[in-house]
Homo-oligomer: A and B are copies of this chain.
């Protein structure tokens, strides 16, 4: 039942993808030990037994993970983990520094901080009047020197302008949520988040110091509001696909259940 010979319906590529699905998660979660770098995967024979597939399928699966920049083949050692990802809780309104401070030091390189005339689509989302300015802040965020995300945010002028007057050190070490709350003097209310996968262009890949292979990024658009419902800022975030995993807890809505419409 489990041997490759029985899987006539699947191609080797299908079987390799299924093996890679499981291994990818273990690699990213640090399941192979070695901390954030340098864990070693089981050898090919063990993977053959574990996944009930042929050696060629195991090799194809490892090649997929290699192409994603997650593992490397090292002579005399085996297949080692080179890319472990950090988990970012999507359901909490928390910044990267707040989430990752256990793992190391988050530093934001300020790439732009200035008043701009925002594009109309941005102005609309922020509820700005025609001709009203916004503050554009772009930061490259790194953990222990490794770039993880490139954040471009448009802030309401009354929130953004005081940020321009802050010492550079504040912009370099604090999450934008913290900055907004301390300037606005009021807590944040919530955010609308959209997440998409995009192949990073060469310039963005260079900024994020991504390897040539594994060039996928999560693009996150986040409109954050204050507790009273007023919009605070609109962010466009590029997260390195090989370094960050978004996590969320989803609860079933009360309407779900075997009796409801559609569950024939």
Interface residues of A (CB under 8 A from B): 1-2, 7, 9-11, 13-14, 16-19, 21-22, 24-26, 28, 31, 50-52, 64, 67-68, 85, 87, 90-93, 98, 111-112, 114-117, 119-122, 136, 138, 152, 174, 177-178, 181-182, 184-199, 201, 203-204, 207, 213-219, 221, 227, 236, 238-239, 241, 244-253, 256-258, 262-264
Contacts and interface: CB of A to CB of B under 8 A. Distances in A.
Nearest to A21: B236
A174 B258 CA distance: 13
A191 B199 CA distance: 28
Copies of this chain per assembly: 2
Contact of A178 (B186, B194, B263): B263
B188 A256 contact: yes
Nearest to A113: B9
Given A25-B221, A188-B256, A196 B245 contact: yes
Given A178-B262, A181-B263, A214 B199 contact: yes
Interface of chain A, helix or strand or loop or mixed?
Answer: mixed
A257 B189 CA distance: 9
Contact of A50 (B28, B119, B221, B244): B119
Contact of A111 (B14, B182, B217, B241): B14
Contacts of A122: 22
